[in-house]
Structure 1
Amino acid sequence: MNMFNFVIDDSFNDYFNFILPDIAFIQECRYNRINKQYHAEWAGNYKEPIDSRIHLSVAISKDENISKSNIDLNDDYTCVFVEYEKYKFAGVHLPLIDKKRENERKREKILSKIKKSDSKIICGDFNACSNNENQEYLEELLNDNYYIDLWQEGINQEKAYYINFFGKKIKADSKKNKIRTFVGNRHIDYILAKKNFLNLKEIRIDFRTLAFTDHCGIILDFDINPKDK
């Protein structure tokens, strides 16, 4: 999820404590807005103290066993690669390619690192929309690198839900419900997983996070496939 529009009433920490994830990935997070009770691994080679005006991708957990992966983007702040319980995970925030192509070199560098990371799960803001280059890269990951789109997998297995503003969990149906992950009524955030890595229990898109961000949080519950342990 994105944490750029964080509010001052502590609703993010309340929400995080309520859902109790083993690990969470956040894009556009300000350094001074992560509660000290959480262990954080920040994108890039930033060292404490980090300027609170800088927005970074971060992986956070209450488990100190989370650690930085050997995949390094140096001073880039958009993607974070970590290891947790011996598995590699990636939290990404892909830049859009504008008409002036200013982000193209940066984007290609990030995409190369994502492929090299061989992460079991890749999640975050892909900025992938119909007919843009990020959508093409997303499809490349799904077709060539043996990843699956877990939201679509959840739909196929009838294990996909969305949570409305009342906290009611409603089964998602791609034919009846237009599911969005962004305030702009688009689905640009994804969780991908290596094929056969996990057994999907449930995946949920949570509209309630729009109270403190412009993205809907995606919550994934899964068991690791015993063959991968």
Structure 2
Amino acid sequence: YLGDGSSFSWSEFTYSYGLYYNKEFGEITHEWIKEDPRYAVTFGEARSPETWQEERKDDIPVKLYHRGRVEGLNDKYTSYNFRYAELYIMKAELLALTNPSDISGALAELNKMRATYTDPVLPAITGVSTHEQLMDEIFKEYVVTLIMENESPWFAAVRIEHEGRPWIYTLKPDVNFSTNQYCWPIPDDEIKAHSNKIDQNPGLE
């Protein structure tokens, strides 16, 4: 980084271009996002990333949108390495998979996150009585809480099942997916090599 934004200009432009011109997240997930109380904070109006085009559009994920070489060469962009919110969602998923009958235990982790690590504070998720409903709520939380952070919703979409197969097949019914095409954040060899339980840090729930 040279200090004037020049080394970021191309990457910021292409990233912004994608978010501006391909802003739909799919019918199901976009409906979830627009119904979420955080929508007014994470989405809004933004200018085109093209230097010659001054149009503006609404419904842009401004939480992630980079103004880049047009309006914000020196912007300090929000970068999400790993948030506590994601840890709670992951814990809920882990509890749901290891003890499917304990619906309230896994749901408690989602509601703890919604009450503690969101602004505005979100109401508790209720009305979940089956394991299938629980997994759907966990996947939905990956989408509405994280949106595109670290591509976490993508990994959840190929990991969490809905109606007997991964969510990605419901979200993208016109695309042919193969498990050989899945990309995971951690190589299989590394997962197999580190199968021992890791103790939690003292003081953390």
**Length-normalised TM-score, structure 2:** 0.29
The structure with the greater share of residues assigned to strand is 1
Q: TM-score, normalised by structure 1?
A: 0.27
Structure of greater Rg: 2
Structure (1 or 2) with the greater helix fraction: 2
